Amino acid sequence: MIIRVADDPRRADNWSFVLEALAIPHRVLDTAMGRAIVVDSLIAPKASAALLESDREAAEAVVEEPPAPDSGPSSVGVAVALGLVAFFFVTGPRGATPWFAAGSATAELIVHGAWWRAVTALTLHADLAHVAGNAAALIIFVSALGRWLGRGVAVSLVLLSGFAGNLLNAYAHGAHHNSIGASTAAFGALGILGGLQFVRRYRFTARMDRRRRALTAIAACLGLFAMLGVGERAEIDVLAHLAGLGCGLVIGAVAGWLIRRPVRPLLQWLLVAASAAVVAGCWWRALG
């Protein structure tokens, strides 16, 4: 029984390749209408179904993945980094001023209600090298988020990921742990980028390949975490970095599903102002 005829011999050869891969007996014959695929009538339904499935997968595979959203160059990462460096010259290094006693992420205080420390600790740094390293990471990751989501959404989500990461870290330790630094938020920004890419690749990749490509984004985040977030130095808070990354992945995935169109500039600036107000309010509560 002839189940398919192709004008183009290469197309018939592709059909034959599919049937060979599935061990379905067949022949390829040249006819007046073109090159035909011939099978036994008993297996014709199975062969036809196999070719239909191959056609469907080929149609999905040609769907082009759209480029990631890009609203143009963003200076929000530089602004956040400069703000942290400027604040470091106000607070000084660890132990030099009372800022650290009032605002560090002391686990036992956070779990007993001092939640604002999960925000204030993001703005404190042990020394100049500490703040410089975090500032460099924020310039890269937050600027990338600013291009994707806009300045206001980027800053507010990074602040949320840092806050959530410090809370999670505090509850994981319970007591006898104290951390400072914006690295939790920096890894949160990396996680948000990974979550956004996960959703984008899952939505726009062909079904047969979407899971692998989506998980590649998560694997890239974990690779960067392994290079940047761990180390043998005692001052490296690996659990805080991991908590920030994990919270960022969740926040980025949720944002990827919910934010389908660009956020208007006015709302972006309102979110920037709201984020600054949250940080200032937490410090007011810490010093009050």
pLDDT digits (tens, 9 = 90+) for 246-266: 999 999 999 999 998 889 999
What's the pLDDT at 208?
A: 59
* Residue 141 resides in a domain: yes
- Which pLDDT band, with edges at 50, 70 and 90, does 203 fall under? confident
What's the pLDDT at 134?
A: 95
pLDDT digits (tens, 9 = 90+) for 62-118: 455 667 788 888 899 999 999 999 999 999 998 777 899 999 999 999 999 999 999
**CATH classification at residue 154:** 1.20.1540.10
Domain final position from 27, 61, 95: 61
Better pLDDT: 62 or 6: 6
Residues 8-28: what's their mean pLDDT? Answer: 89
* Residue 126 resides in a domain: yes
What's the pLDDT at 233?
A: 61
Give the max Cα distance, the chain. 92
Residues 20-37: what's their mean pLDDT? Answer: 89
Are 141 and 232 part of one and the same domain?
Answer: yes
**CATH classification at residue 57:** 3.30.70
Are 269 and 147 part of one and the same domain?
Answer: yes
Residues 271-284: what's their mean pLDDT? Answer: 97
Are 146 and 176 part of one and the same domain?
Answer: yes
What's the pLDDT at 63?
A: 53
Give the count of domains, the chain. 2
Are 23 and 108 part of one and the same domain?
Answer: no
pLDDT digits (tens, 9 = 90+) for 174-198: 888 999 999 999 999 999 999 999 9
User: Rounded mean pLDDT of the chain?
Assistant: 89
Are 177 and 127 part of one and the same domain?
Answer: yes
pLDDT digits (tens, 9 = 90+) for 211-247: 777 888 899 888 988 888 776 565 678 899 999 999 9
* Residue 69 resides in a domain: no
Are 10 and 86 part of one and the same domain?
Answer: no
Are 38 and 82 part of one and the same domain?
Answer: no
What's the pLDDT at 113?
A: 93
For 224, the domain range is: 76-287
Is this model's pTM higher than 0.85 or not?
Answer: no
Are 109 and 226 part of one and the same domain?
Answer: yes
What's the pLDDT at 65?
A: 62
